[in-house]
Structure 1
């Protein structure tokens, strides 16, 4: 697979082939067990109900140990199968049962037996899910934005939150028994005559139930491994199974004492967190930091070699890939490729501001290169002191063409954190969470980004249409005037100001409704126990248990907004080549007819475009974006004043594949984009509009208020494999990245290294490109599982030269 990094061991290669050949099925086990637990414990307080639910699942779900694996733990009844989480939503599951295997992308298979099992529990969940209660709680004036697709928050109420990294290092070091001890001590200290402590008491009870359930779950694997060992005739495999049994009788309840034990402990917790709640973007954090002491000790003692350590990591990535998630089709369009966004962060700096790269950082790079899968989502923390040797290794992985690693910059993120009140030592310990969003592992609450998606280009069209949604005809805001009657650009700016502030307020209302129902209905007990200071405060994460709690929504279509504003200002109000009425008519008719095409061509070719280092357009979008930022920071989240530092909101551009889904419902826009076509993703320029090379793109992006967009400034770039095959171009790319982060204060960049011809051939002959992986947004996915529209979107991205 990789001449530079070497190949997987024979057993791991065999395991990988098995996983790639495995059909993703829908698994009903968790749904059935959850329903039974909810019925059995219907009278219990919600924290206890959730604890007993997880206990029921872990005690009764199918378990197995693959022939090739050294690490154990499975999410569903078979690898790559996706469980159903009925407590969040069941309507879309029942409605789409017969469509899962007929999808254009993200296909899942389902047996008739599974369909019947799911139909059998549907009545219990009717009007009884998080989605049902979340939608019912939304005020009609705000819910209309959700229904029209202007503000989307479906993922928040159809699945768990996640977007978080637990403190895996602490679990390794102390074991769950230390959390058990702390919980018992906190529970014993409660004065139950104070009614506020009753809820805390239930929370502590729930933690103790869950810790025991995790220990019993591990014991199930220990017993299975021992049983398999007794039947195994291959002496080597017998010894491995006996070792697995020993380890599973120990971790994660006891502290890990070896590299192998530490990895198994970490994986087991990571797995159960995703069985507890199917929220995505559950991330590993700074693995090269907390795992390195175990590696160093065992390497020096001769317990492991670099090769055996690398094999265990590749095994971990393969197990990580076994986890799968099925979404409704409408939500799938926002997360094409069934991504889990399980991020691993390496590099960066230590709290005393030294380079944090260590030998394990290199091995993690090597293991990800060897495994070559969409998971984990690998991020490198860049800083000025990152040496050329490590940068070279990173670019060698980039050259392999599966979209990793992404780069996040300490130079902008750490100061942004400190400005927001994060302690310096914690700011220096941040990690990527999911795509490009960032947080402090083990101390930060849910949804550091991804609360909702706000469609900027659609918002502009409504601002031009006197506050009326042009697609539905519904009046959303009064008194902004129609574009046809505007006489100058200032009129449009005023309309945008009114609209975007109003829409921002509605996004906050929708997000708060989601958060309230998640807090009341589905507290995650294990995850809360592993985040500071939930045990100390006696509160789950949604109740204010985390040390820090900042969130962001995501703003979609940044480049479309930029190019639209520039085209209007220049062509309509300055040069008067197009009248306001003519432009509006062309947009309504999707540039139909000869006159429509003429106007579309002017919009595309005669106006400045974002991504070319042109202040005319770049500063227009900066100004427009700052209005949103100015408004959103006014509104705290539901944890404000309940314990965490922060409890506030900020901006974010990590729009994942929402640009495709939100583009479907957006009419033609003043940048010349046709109705229904994808919007620009992240903060990347619109396709083929960035004509002045990558440096100009970096300069345009850097003009955004990146220090205020703490939710992530996602930039995708695309280069050809032929380009990076030359050593001089590789070095140019390194220098370009350094310039972007050191001088321009860039936040993030990632690369697709694939040529257009390969992608087109993969569309026609998918069987020839089974292993083709592309960077979709802040994550990678197998090209063949994507819908055609998402594939087309990737194909049309600009190929940069150096």
Structure 2
């Protein structure tokens, strides 16, 4: 038996069933929403969205699994992915016959389903979010999108999410409270003011959606009762009757027991995934808002630790049933079909005390027992985090599925307060998706997750006088060609000119996506469950949230720093070769004896980020600071419309974008060849960090972490043998504490798997069905990843303690 015990027999069976499930493409939602949009084409968009969700919840297939204690399904079968045609339909039709042939993230589809999608596709011509988003992009910005320098496909082919709604309020007050508040606000409106007329549409939409949620829940209640009538096993019959009782009550009425709270939580979380296909929909600080229910049920003997653990493992299994299909080009940015459904535990209370409680331990235990890529588990670290809890966290890390990740209270809370977040809210933050952070129930969409900006490619264009060297397209005025530069200062001037201009275009592209989302879609339930949308009568895209800060994502941080350091040292200081010789070697991809020697010097003699070398670390900070200074100038589309903020900050949570963005980037001055992956997150380039994990931590700590509030993603990799002994596990705890306490680290997470295991898994995938790896800020089954992404993970540096 493992340190955390084993799944109960039925949860084990449920897990096996899910792992064996074939990921199908489900067309039910696509058909139902097309019917609804057609019927209600004359109505305001927010009402149209409410009515389409109502139609889906009233008519989609429902089922209750034999082994489950909680009910609710996203699609016609578990692990199937619905199609969301209102966001984008072109790629769906283009790739219908390719889903099964993908190199990774394979989905299966029947010929009948293909026929349904082809039948409804014409309805969506020129009506989708993607159509509107692309049409709205100015030509001078669209070229950055088309060339892949600024990647924003996810923003215009799916919903937003990257949010945690106010689950605590739903559990305590029930949807009845949201309904009553909505009705009160609606009665107060003076409809002679056109702005209030628009608010009335939003309020009517909330009432429609709340009633639809009630109907959906009651459908399961009736099904459970029907199943109970046919059940011969007395114990299961009683469970189904109880399930029916609970589903007739929540989420409309407040939850009163732990079981009711878990079912209510799941039902809301599920419907939010049905409403919109945006990922990174997160659970927030679950150990805080669920604990009162757990504590009270323990006291009254309604539950014990074992039964509570089973309910939690059941919730994680249901969480894993949700799936999402993306276009192949977008899939490469999110390898492994991740949903990034984050659960946060630990941290501090709003009165600055340690927040760890018995449920925090139980969540660790249940996630460890289930051992799946979902949910994405994050621990909020602070200086007072108990040693016993840290030890339990490391025991989970040892299991080798990339969890938990650790985020630092000291850095994140102060960073929030600096930006205008109220102290009590800052102390209540949670992880969202990967490593991004926000205040649950009070923050708008995409605290991190806007467009991706390729830093190394931007540098190459800067060196080429503003011309993309691969396409030959002139993107903006530069300051001259690298071949003609006589000092490193000219290189930095070129970088500054280009990165400021590219940042400006990234904001334009973001705004085009946001305006399209505001015009074409409206997430009614998600908005209703986020403060202060009801009070303001505004949905999230209109400025309804209390806070609305967002972040773009910068890709190839380490490559940028290593490239600048190589240019400075090898060209202008040591004069190993001229700017012209280096540029020619890049154009020729280091092919040929002369250029290969240049590559060797770049790799072997130039300082590398990740080794605690101020030469490179401070140079990278200088270059990054230019971007940060520029992005701070800009506002999002909600600025001045209600929320605190409405501004930008930086973020390195680039998920698996380093692989496809590397594939589209020519050779770089750090010695990297064309097509090779870029460095992920803020992690060092593969095999370039040679001085151990402490040196990596020190390099990362020199980044302006308080300004990179969108997340400072750091992956580390150790072998299982490194954590086999108690003394080594204590060393890791001490290392993590040093990183956060003394070096002001933002985030760290661990892959605990050997290179040999990964190589064998590539050759013999049938032996490694359960092998899970940390890809970026999330985990995925190794076997579902493309070979290119697998290779990228294999090549990461293995650290010794």
Same fold (TM over 0.5): yes
Aligned to 1:774: 773
Match in the other structure for 1:13:
12
| Distance across 2 between alignment mates of 1:565 and 1:23 | 47
> Could you say what secondary structure the match of 1:649 adopts?
strand
- Counterparts of 1:167 and 1:678 in 2: how far apart (Å)? 38
Report the equivalent of 1:113: 112
Task: Give the match for residue 481 of structure 1.
Answer: 480
The alignment partner of 2:646 has SS state of strand
Query: 1:48 matched to which residue of 2?
Result: 47
Aligned to 2:357: 358
| Whole-angstrom CA distance in 1 between matches of 2:470 and 2:38 | 44
CA deviation vs aligned residue, 1:631-684 (integer Å, no higher than 9, x gap): 001001000000000000000000000000101100000000010110000000
- Within-5 A mapping of 1:246-257: 246-257=245-256
Partner of 1:175, secondary structure, is helix
Task: Spell out, residue by residue over 1:728-769, the C-alpha distance to the aligned partner (whole angstroms, 9 max, x if none).
Answer: 110010000000000000000000000000000000000000
Secondary structure of 2:43 counterpart: coil
1:481-502 CA distance string (max 9 Å, x none):
0000000100000000000000
Q: Could you tell me whether the CA contact under 8 Å between 2:345 and 2:356 is conserved in 1? A: yes
1:405 Cα shift? 0.1
Q: Which residue of 1 aligns with 2:532?
A: 533
The residue aligned with 2:684 is 685
2:78 paired with 1:86: no
Supply the distance in 1 between the matched residues of 2:620 and 2:433 (Cα, whole angstroms): 26
| Corresponding residue for residue 292 of structure 1 | 291
In structure 2, C-alpha distance between the alignment counterparts of 1:480 and 1:247, rounded to whole Å:
67
SS in 2 for 1:519: helix
Q: State the secondary structure of the residue aligned to 2:445.
A: coil
Structure 2 counterpart SS, 1:432: strand
Residue of structure 2 equivalent to 1:592? 591
Give matches, 1:118-129, under 5 Å: 118-129=117-128
Name the CA distance, whole Å, in 2 between partners of 1:736 and 1:488.
40
Residues 674-720 of structure 1, C-alpha deviations (whole Å, 9 max, x = no match): 10110000000000000000000000000000000000000000000
Q: Match of 1:374, SS?
A: coil
Counterparts of 1:411-490 in structure 2 under 5 Å? 411-490=410-489
The 5-angstrom pairing of residues 262-301 of structure 1 reads 262-301=261-300
| Cα deviation 1:10-57 (Å, max 9, x = unaligned) | 000000000000000000000000100100000000110000000000
Given that 2:130 and 2:157 are in contact with CA atoms closer than 8 Å, whether structure 1 keeps it comes out as: yes
Query: What is the distance in 1 between the residues matched to 2:592 and 2:646?
Result: 52
**Residues 738-757 of structure 1 correspond to what in structure 2 (within 5 A)?**
738-757=737-756
Shift of 1:223: 0.5
Corresponding residue number in structure 2 for 1:396: 395
What does the per-residue CA deviation read over 1:293-342, in whole Å, with 9 as the maximum and x for residues that have no partner?
Answer: 00000001100000000000000000000000000000001000000000
Alpha-carbon deviations, 1:373-396, whole Å to 9, x = none?
Answer: 000000000000001000000000
Distance (whole Å) between structure 2 residues aligned to residue 290 and residue 133 of structure 1 = 39
Q: Which residue in 2 is equivalent to 1:336?
A: 335
Q: In structure 1, list runs of 5 or more residues that go unmatched.
A: none
Q: Quote the Cα distance in structure 2 between the aligned partners of 1:768 and 1:597.
A: 39
Q: Distance in 2 between matches of 1:510 and 1:538?
A: 27
- 3-state secondary structure, aligned to 1:647: strand
CA distance in 2, matches of 1:721, 1:206: 52
- With normalisation by structure 1, the TM-score equals 1.00
Are the equivalent residues in 1 in contact too, given 2:478–2:497 (CA < 8 A)?
no
The 1-side partners of 2:637 and 2:477 are apart by 29
What is the rounded CA distance, in whole Å, between the counterparts of 2:440 and 2:73 in structure 1?
Answer: 24
Residue of structure 2 equivalent to 1:631:
630
d(CA) in 2 for partners of 1:454, 1:175: 41
Tell me how far apart the structure 2 counterparts of residues 778 and 717 of structure 1 sit (CA, whole Å): 11
Q: CA deviation at 1:477?
A: 1.1
Distance 1:732 1:228 in 2: 53
The SS at the match of 1:646 is strand
Give 1:480 deviation, angstroms.
Answer: 1.6
User: Where do 4+ consecutive residues of structure 1 move more than 4 Å?
Assistant: none
* Structure 2 partner of 1:705: 704
Where 1:217 maps in the other structure, the secondary structure is helix
Give the distance between the partners of 1:617 and 1:789, measured in 2 at CA: 28
| 1:479 to partner: Cα distance | 3.5
Tell me which residue corresponds to 2:494.
495
What is the match of residue 132 of structure 2? 133
SS at 1:407's partner residue?
strand
- C-alpha contact 2:637 2:646 (8 A) present in aligned 1: yes
Shift of 1:596: 1.4
Give the conservation status (yes or no) of the 8 Å contact 2:556–2:658: yes
Unaligned runs of 5+ in 2: none
SS of 1:379's equivalent in the other structure is strand
CA contact (8 A) 2:590 2:598 kept: yes
* Equivalence map 1:32-71=2 (5 Å): 32-71=31-70
| Whole-angstrom distance in 2 between the partners of 1:203 and 1:644 | 18
Partner of 1:602: 601
Instruction: Report what 1:101 is aligned to.
Output: 100
Instruction: Please report how far the alpha carbon of residue 726 of structure 1 lies from its aligned counterpart in structure 2 after TM superposition.
Output: 1.1
Q: Does 1:784 align with 2:783?
A: yes
Conservation of the 8 A alpha-carbon contact between 2:717 and 2:752: yes
Tell me if 1:212 matches 2:181.
no
Equivalent residue, structure 2, for 1:799: 798
Q: Deviations over 1:327-378 (max 9, x none)?
A: 0000001000000000000000001100000000000000000000000000
2:647 aligned counterpart, secondary structure = strand
- Aligned 8 A contact 2:522 2:541 in 1: yes
Counterpart CA distance in 2 for 1:726 and 1:610 is 30
SS in 1 for 2:565: helix
Distance, in Å, in 1 between the alignment partners of 2:522 and 2:682 is: 33
